[in-house]
Structure 1
Amino acid sequence: MSNMETHPPEVTCADAHRPRGVEVLGARHVPLGGPRAMTVRRTLPQRARTLIGAWCFADHYGPDDVRLTGGMRVAPHPHIGLQTVSWLFSGEIEHRDSLGVRALVRPGELNLMTGGFGICHSEFSTEETTVLHGMQLWVALPAAHRDAPRDFQHHIPGTVALEGGQARVFLGSLAGDTSPVDTYTPVLGAEITLDAHAVVGLAVDEGFEHGVIVDSGEVAMNGTALRAAELGYAAPGAARLTLENTSGEPARMILLGGPPFDEEIVMWWNFVGRTHEDIVRARQDWQSASDRFGQVEGQEHERLPAPELPNATLTPRRNPASPPADRGEPST
């Protein structure tokens, strides 16, 4: 998915002081396109937190009636320095990229694309889709692999039974299941559903920090309440994570994790670089239709133009040095 903001903020992400306990963050609403656009709820990055492990971007959308909004219609756009993770709860999206891959994103199936030095792709919900609902996530590539070759991986994870629920582990390892999908830094990604009033204790890597994004229901993360669309963050140090469905209806959430990312990265629009100059060069290459990103076959003339760069050097933005309030407000 592309960041469709006309004035995307520059973000420099770096590890900083990590408060203990669970930090609760709201989402900000971003329209994905024109006046009838589908709106996404963005929980990463924001002022209060820019990274969870190497996870650097999280958009949550739907359930969206495509008859009213037109669904997802994102023309070819570029990426560098990251891997994109597409995960659906309902609906269907056609993915096309400059590798020549043409694939469908379906509920419960992982599509992971590696941007590396440069790739472009498009995403359109299919004509058969009536309700679109899912997540778009990005993983920052470490410096040693920032120019990794373009790649695309598809995986259908099995269902892992939990006491009072189930999990689908699409990246990393959890509850005795391990995804075969390759990443360049350790990460965890899983969809978890819990029955009404169920409580689940999960063994996790104590070197990881973890985030829970609630899709539906009311959830408590290590005893801290989270509402739908909120993000709960837990710092490294615990070998167990407790999730509770505090409602009388099923609850669904996405669990993200990874070791604190100890590299400073600059994010702007759809690019993850290391310096202001990296971003400027990538934008120039995209605007000039250089060979760096390739072309999406059949959609060469529908490319999404890059926004204007700010009239200043892209400046750092870091995680806060002091613990935030128990319940964060959506960032702007």
Structure 2
Amino acid sequence: MSNLEHEPGEVLLASPPASGIEILEPREVPLGGPRAMLVHRTLPQRARSLIGAWCFVDHYGPADLAETAGMVVPPHPHIGLQTVSWLFEGEIEHRDSVGSRATVTPGTLNLMTAGRGIQHSEYSTASTRMLHGVQLWVALPGGERRREPAFAATEAVAFEIGEARIQLFIGELADRSAAAAVLSPLLGAEVRIAPGARVSLPVTASFEHGVLVDQGAVTVDGVEVAPTQLAYRAPGSGSIELAAGAEGARLLLLGGEPFGEQLVMWWNFVGRDHDEIAQARADWQQRLGGADTRFDAIDDDRAPLPAPELPPVRLRPRD
């Protein structure tokens, strides 16, 4: 998914230390034009911009495609990150410049590694009536950010812990391992909790964690978290306590080792400084003009998205 904001702000991807549970409120961002589908964005924000290497969290739907245009994201570029597509309902067609053409469906993780540079597009399929899911980005560590671009689809690992049903799509949980190839220590799982149930999930104590609530009333370590909110918890405990209300709950559990690198994110690019971001933008604009650049060609007839103008000052970390 692209960040479709016309004036994207620069973001320093480095978060302050914390203790206990922080509740991060989403902001609404329209995805597209007049019939835009709204997404709820909880990362990045000023209060906290990273959970491990997770640097971007968009939650959308359930959206009735009779009322919105659904997902219509023409070709656009990325550098320095991996995109993670996970659906609860509906289908999305993915195309990219390494030649991939895949359908994202519930239960299957689509993982695209941008590395040195990739372009891709995403469209909800003609058969989709309701669209509901998340789009996540993972910042690549310094030694991996210029690797060759790639794409892979993997099935989630399904199992139960107490009255919770887990679909593990990244990392390890309760002695199970997902097949997705990520490049820093991470956790990603969908968790469905039965009505009124409580569950204690064993997690890596050195990880920081985020709980993104999709549906239902949830408490995280005793703190209430509402749908579309993201609860952050600092490292230090080897378990996380979740409880659902009378209707049950569905959430995403995200985690990772504190990233330890200062990054700058602007539009669809994750880099280390202004010059890296500016060069990526210039390369993309040159590609739109027909030049051969790091962004290889894509099999998609729709007009690609031009990059917004850079701010009139050098991108730099926020105070």
Q: Same fold (TM over 0.5)?
A: yes
Superposition deviation, residue 314 in structure 1: 1.1
Instruction: Name the SS of the counterpart of 2:67 in structure 1.
Output: helix
The residue identity in structure 1 corresponding to 2:249 is A
Superposition deviation, residue 280 in structure 1: 0.5
Superposition deviation, residue 15 in structure 1: 4.5
**Alpha-carbon displacement from aligned partner over 1:193-230 (angstroms, at most 9, x marks no partner):** 00011111011111000000000001101111000000
Q: Distance in 2 between matches of 1:281 and 1:176?
A: 43
- CA shift in 2, pair 1:15/1:47, >3 Å: closer
Superposition deviation, residue 308 in structure 1: 1.0
Matching residue of 1:190: 189
Superposition deviation, residue 44 in structure 1: 0.2
The residue identity in structure 2 corresponding to 1:255 is L
Q: Which runs of 4+ in 1 moved over 2 A?
A: none
Matching residue of 2:298: 296
- Contact kept in structure 1, 2:161 and 2:201, CA below 8 Å: no
Report sequence identity in percent: 53
Matching residue of 1:329: none
**Alpha-carbon displacement from aligned partner over 1:57-94 (angstroms, at most 9, x marks no partner):** 00000000111111000000000000000000000000
Superposition deviation, residue 175 in structure 1: 2.2
Matching residue of 1:6: 6
Matching residue of 2:265: 267
Instruction: Name the SS of the counterpart of 1:190 in structure 2.
Output: strand
Instruction: Name the SS of the counterpart of 1:304 in structure 2.
Output: coil
Superposition deviation, residue 287 in structure 1: 0.6
**Alpha-carbon displacement from aligned partner over 1:5-52 (angstroms, at most 9, x marks no partner):** 001110111243x22110011100000111210010000001111000
Matching residue of 1:305: 306
**Alpha-carbon displacement from aligned partner over 1:105-130 (angstroms, at most 9, x marks no partner):** 00111000000000000000000000
Superposition deviation, residue 317 in structure 1: 3.1
The residue identity in structure 1 corresponding to 2:281 is R
**Alpha-carbon displacement from aligned partner over 1:261-307 (angstroms, at most 9, x marks no partner):** 100110000000000011100000001104211121133x5111111
Q: Distance in 1 between matches of 2:261 and 2:304?
A: 31
* CA RMSD in angstroms, aligned pairs only: 1.0
Matching residue of 1:327: none
**TM-score with structure 1 setting the length:** 0.93
Instruction: Name the SS of the counterpart of 1:129 in structure 2.
Output: coil
Instruction: Name the SS of the counterpart of 1:159 in structure 2.
Output: strand
**Alpha-carbon displacement from aligned partner over 1:155-209 (angstroms, at most 9, x marks no partner):** 1113111211210110000122111211110110000000011111011111000
The residue identity in structure 1 corresponding to 2:69 is G
Instruction: Name the SS of the counterpart of 1:233 in structure 2.
Output: strand
Give structure 1 stretches of 5+ with no counterpart.
Answer: 319-332
Matching residue of 1:125: 124
- Contact kept in structure 2, 1:266 and 1:316, CA below 8 Å: yes
The correspondence of residues 7-156 of structure 1 with structure 2, limited to 5 A, is 7-16=7-16, 18-156=17-155
The residue identity in structure 1 corresponding to 2:311 is P
- Contact kept in structure 1, 2:157 and 2:178, CA below 8 Å: no
The residue identity in structure 1 corresponding to 2:228 is A
Instruction: Name the SS of the counterpart of 2:74 in structure 1.
Output: strand
Q: Distance in 2 between matches of 1:317 and 1:151?
A: 32
Q: Distance in 2 between matches of 1:36 and 1:26?
A: 24
**Alpha-carbon displacement from aligned partner over 1:218-266 (angstroms, at most 9, x marks no partner):** 1101111000000000000111111111x21121000100010100110
The residue identity in structure 1 corresponding to 2:271 is G
Q: Distance in 2 between matches of 1:58 and 1:45?
A: 7
| Structure 1 range deviating more: 156-165 or 188-197 | 156-165
**TM-score with structure 2 setting the length:** 0.97
Instruction: Name the SS of the counterpart of 2:99 in structure 1.
Output: coil
Instruction: Name the SS of the counterpart of 2:235 in structure 1.
Output: coil
Q: Distance in 1 between matches of 2:206 and 2:300?
A: 45
Report whether the alignment pairs 1:227 with 2:226. Answer: yes
The residue identity in structure 2 corresponding to 1:6 is H
Q: Distance in 1 between matches of 2:89 and 2:298?
A: 25
- Contact kept in structure 1, 2:14 and 2:48, CA below 8 Å: no
Q: Distance in 1 between matches of 2:318 and 2:256?
A: 20
- Contact kept in structure 1, 2:75 and 2:300, CA below 8 Å: no
Q: Distance in 1 between matches of 2:26 and 2:318?
A: 18
The residue identity in structure 1 corresponding to 2:294 is R
Instruction: Name the SS of the counterpart of 1:167 in structure 2.
Output: strand
Q: Distance in 2 between matches of 1:13 and 1:177?
A: 30
- How many residue pairs were aligned? 315
